[in-house]
Structure 1
Amino acid sequence: MTLPATVAVDVGGTKIRAGSVIDGRLAHVRRVPTPATAGAQAVLDTIAEVAAAVIADVPGSGDAESGAGGGDATDARSGVRGADDSGVGSTGCSGDLAWRIGIGAAGVIDPATGVVVSATDSLVGWAGTELTAELSARTGLPVRAVNDVHAHALGESFAGASRGTRSSLLVAAGTGIGGGFITDGRLLTGRNSAAGHIGHVPSAAAAGLDCPCGGTSHVEAIASGPGILAAYRRLAYESAEIDTGPVELAAPGESHVPAAATPSDSPTSAAVTSSNPATAPASTRELGAAASAGDPLAIRAFDIGARALGSALGGIANVLAPEVIVIGGGLAEMDEIWWAPLREAFAAELIPAASGIELVKAELGQDAALIGAAGLWDDSPVSEDGDSASRARTNKETN
């Protein structure tokens, strides 16, 4: 008897992760750098190499290295995290396993054709790549692919924060802001597979700000990690220009700043932060640490970004009415300095019929994309009516 086995792959701008999924369990996870500036062919070569290495790691699959088959596994039904291995092994395949490849990749991916419809410059020459066809030619294996955030949405619906629901919206909030909407077990990809670009809805808080897509006034320009960092720098500059003392954080009743983090208690004043570049946060991660330490401008920047995103999600919830909205990405790791204003702004936008929709934190982390990519093989990614939509199984727990 031949057992289906999937190499699940997550292709990002900085790293490629891949692992085996057999009988619902994720294991043998490897991580390699993405040759992002070397062109699409180099990226495809790297994917093929890491896929071969994962197969070689599976016991009985061929000439695996001495450490093959070790390490913990992730059960895609329970969400228990596994461990990364390192290095690249040789190719092998067991006669008892029927291998295929599932991919979640950066860019707008048409799951029906496996073509990268469009992409940013984070992967040079990625747009137009015939992803599934070229990778299948390299590996001799069947391949299916979707956008990486869509894969995250599938993974969370299979085994994460939205498992057991009939409809859910996954929001990835980090360097950019993307999303994936699932209803009745179907991932909606929309016209040209462009559905889910939550970061590009209009936002009054982002009025006049340039967005990475080339437009202006989109929520990503103010609510993404880089957008929040840019807002902080604007606040610091304005504070230094005015030089009138501590900056007022928000209008009465608006701020969620803890009492211990008021301007008078803060160890980092606006004037010191803005006038000393050496001590100013250089990344969103550093800015988050500054906010947690009580920097009033950092707190204010996160407050602005969180409220902008919360308002946008409230409007989207009024249209889609998902059972739950799952928040993942780097910003989801923030504390209540970000989460509290996000929830408040979200709730303020909901119509009565949409009340009760919850914002919850994603559970699977970076493994969600791998579990979702493997799930592409549960059903055909193309519906009978020809839509470029991926079928996702509804995973209901039986406790």
Structure 2
Amino acid sequence: MTLRPVSMALPALLLAACASQPPRTEAPTLPSTAPASDTVNERYVSAANPVDELDSLASWTSPTGDTWLIASAKSTDQLVVFDADTGERLRTVGEPGDAAGRFDRPNGLAVHGDHLFVAERDNHRVQVFALPGFEPLGSFGQDQLRAPYGLWINETEPGELEIYVTDSFMYGEHFNVVPPLSELDQRVRRYRVVFDHKGQPRSHYAGSFGDTRQDSALRVVESIAGDPGGDRLLIADERFPREDGRNASTLREYNFKGHYTGRSLPQDAFAAEAEGVALWSCSATGGYWIAVDQLAPLTMFHLFERDSLAPAGSFHGAVTAYTDGVALHAASTREFPRGALFAVHDDAAVVAFDLADIARQLGLSTECGG
């Protein structure tokens, strides 16, 4: 969610004419006390299109084996579809508006089966589309959502989905004032969704949650991911006050009933804002969480043990910077037999990291390819 200036020099392949955008504040640089980070080179960096202001990512594989990477483009109010194996820009979907199939500040994305879910901050809803044609099937959340950002989906029964949506509504003239603690129990909203015999989504609002205590409330939320095997949600709290008056960022652990477990990542685990988060599930119980630390001049990707949340290493790419969203595609594709981690680069492009490269470079467990 952070806004940043475009003064930093970028590689030539990513330079492009910039459209008028709101001024952006400088991202933090990596402190000298930060833990060591390995370099994992990107397998590709897509052509840049700065006017898009890309944010979130989701992947989908067609019955013929083609894998798409779908990105939300906040400034142009549309979706951008890339070939996930090559980074080639394939098409755009949608245009500004509030009718079905149109968008107003699309943000969080999630794919389940052949359905794509899109959270729209300024239309205050989640739209549902059928893939591969992106036919709009319906929407939900208009009566509750105020500023939806992130999405995560859990299939509780065959055909029955529980969808968690972060709602980072703010107050003040510039919408930068965190609501009072008493209102922060609305930071995550739950919906139960099923599809009827005509393929239309039917939703039921299942309430909201969020801790409201001074030292553990969810203040600025966006990314969310879950682990069905561990009854665990990790929610990125991008900005909360520390005792010394500075802001900090972390991932907080909740269970599926919406109760804060009391666990979060250690203070100073993130030098900047915690952004995208994804679970790399390598077996029924093994794997790692991958979390974005939105730093300059290079994004840091931190890995944490699936159950203990203990640090498991960090890496950065050769060019990837200012990352918001990520998508972890653990299934084999044509170019990535062991799967890939996709990330947004500088709001303008997408990049791909080979999971096999990450596993080897960081010396991860053998079940994850290390």
TM-score normalized with structure 2 length: 0.28
Structure having the higher helix fraction is 1
TM-score normalized with structure 1 length: 0.27
Structure having the higher strand fraction is 2
Ranked by relative contact order (alpha carbons within 8 Å, sequence separation 6 or more), the top structure is 1
Give the structure with higher Rg (CA).
Answer: 1
